[in-house]
Amino acid sequence: MKASHVRKLIKPIESAYSEMFSGQVYRVGKGAVSVRNHSGKAEQTVVGVHGFLENHCYFTQAYEAPTTELILLTCSNYHIPVNGVTPEVPGWELPIKQLEGTIEYDACILNQALSNLPTTDNIRVHGHSRGGAVILEAIKQWPALYEDVEVVLEAPVLPQGKLHALVTTLLEPVSHGMWPWLIRLINSAPSSAYGQTFFGKMNPRKKQLLSKLFSATKDHLTIVRNIENIMDWMARTDTGIYNDVRQGTFLIPAVDRILDRSSMLASARQSPTTMRIVETEAPSHFITLDSREWVPGFETLPAAAQG
C-alpha cells in the first residue's frame, strides 16, 4: 500500500455512538472486553462478538435477562461504545502477535476473554457476520477451550463463503486512496439512500445502530484491513475448521444483501451434524435486530441439555 494512502487512512475517525453501560471494561491489546453487571445470580454466560462496522450494542437488548452474564467484545481498533466507564488493563492480558484489524487478532481477544471472565459453566458465544469468523478462528486457535461451549453463528462470514454480488460490485472500483473520500460521501448521505437496499426493513433499534456504521472504527485503515482480511480468510479457510465445533446453531436470514446466502448455506452444510442450521424468515443480514424471536433459547446450552 502506498505511504500516501496509509497516511490518509490512519487519520482518526471520531466516535459517534455510545450507550450508558454498567459494568467493567477491560482493554485487551488494541480491542476491549466489557462485562455487564447483572442483578440476579448468573445462570448462563453469553459472549457477544460484533460484526464489521458494528459495536457490542448489537447484543445488549437480545440478552437482557438479569441472570445472564453478558460479556461483549470490542474488536481491534474499534471505538468502545460505552459511557461512564473507565477502561482498565486486566492482569490476565497477554500480548497478541497477530496483525491488528484481522479476524486472527480478534480471535486472540476472544480467547483471552473466554479463558478468564465467565463465572458460569453454561456458556454461549454468539457472533454476528464477521464475528462468526472470529469465533471459528478462535476455536481453531484453542479447540479445548470450546469443548463445552455452544456457538451461535448469525448470518456468519464462513469458510469458502462470498460477499453478496452487490457488495462486490461496489468494492471492485475502490482503491485504497478512495476510502476516506467514499466514507465521507456515505456519511453525508441520508441512510435512507442506501439503507433499505442493504439493511432491509428498518425499525427503531436498527436505525439507531446502523446509522453510525462508518464511525465504528478508529481509522479508515481498519475498514480496509477488515474487508481485505474477510475476503482473504473466506478464500483460504477450509471447511475442516468445523471439526472442532462441538455444538451450536447457524442462523441464516431469508434475505441477505451483505453476504452471499447460497455460499453461506453450502459452507454451513459441511459442518458436523451437531450444528443446527436454522433458515430464519429474517428479511436482512441483521437477524437479531429484525426480531429477537430467532435467537435460540438457553435450553440449547450444554448444561441445560445435560440437566
Q: Taking Cα atoms as reference points, which of 123, 100, 107, 122 lies closest to residue 73? A: 107
Query: Does residue 62 register a pLDDT over 80?
Result: yes
**Residue 10: which pLDDT band, with cuts at 50, 70 and 90?**
confident
Does the pLDDT value for residue 150 go beyond 70? yes
Residue 190 has pLDDT above 70, yes or no: no
Mean pLDDT computed over 67-82:
97
pLDDT of 167 reads: 87
* Per-residue model confidence (pLDDT) at position 237: 98
Between the alpha carbon of residue 101 and those of residues 121, 238, 277, the distances in Å are: 30, 21, 29
Q: Which residue from 305, 100, 283, 271 is spatially nearest to 198, judged by alpha carbons?
A: 283
pLDDT tier at 1, thresholds 50, 70, 90: low
| pLDDT, tens digit, 9 for 90 and up, residues 102-138 | 999 999 999 999 999 999 999 999 999 999 999 999 9
- pTM value is 0.94
Looking at residue 291, what is its pLDDT?
Answer: 97
Please give the pLDDT value at position 58.
Answer: 98
pLDDT at 267: 98
Residue 54 has pLDDT above 80, yes or no: yes
Q: How confident is the model at residue 160 (pLDDT cuts 50, 70, 90)?
A: very high
The answer to whether 159 touches 241, Cβ cutoff 8 Å, is yes
pLDDT for residue 168: 87
Q: Partners of 80 in the beta sheet?
A: none
Residues sharing a CB contact under 8 Å with residue 302, sequence separation 6 or more, in sequence order: 122, 123, 148, 149, 150, 247
CA of 250: how far to CAs of 120, 152, 219, in Å? 23, 6, 31
Domain residue ranges of the chain, discontinuous segments joined by +: 3-290
Residue 215 in this model has a pLDDT that exceeds 70 = yes
CATH class, domain 3-290, is alpha beta
Predicted local confidence at residue 303, as pLDDT: 64
Q: Label residue 54 left, alpha or beta by phi (over 0 means left) and psi (-120 to 50 means alpha).
A: beta
Which residue, 29, 64, 35, 31, is CA-closest to 47? 35
pLDDT band at 304 (very low <50, low <70, confident <90, very high): low
Residue 291: name the closest of 201, 156, 192, 216 by CA. Answer: 201
Q: What is the C-alpha to C-alpha distance for residues 124 and 154, in angstroms, rounded to an integer?
A: 13
Signed CA dihedral, 39, 41, 47, 48: sign only: negative
Query: Residue 296: its pLDDT value, please?
Result: 96
Confidence of residue 171 (pLDDT cuts 50, 70, 90): confident
Candidate from 74-78, 169-173, 270-274, 283-287 with smallest mean pLDDT: 169-173
Share of the chain above pLDDT 70, in %: 89
List the single range of 24-38, 163-177, 259-273 with lowest mean pLDDT. Answer: 163-177
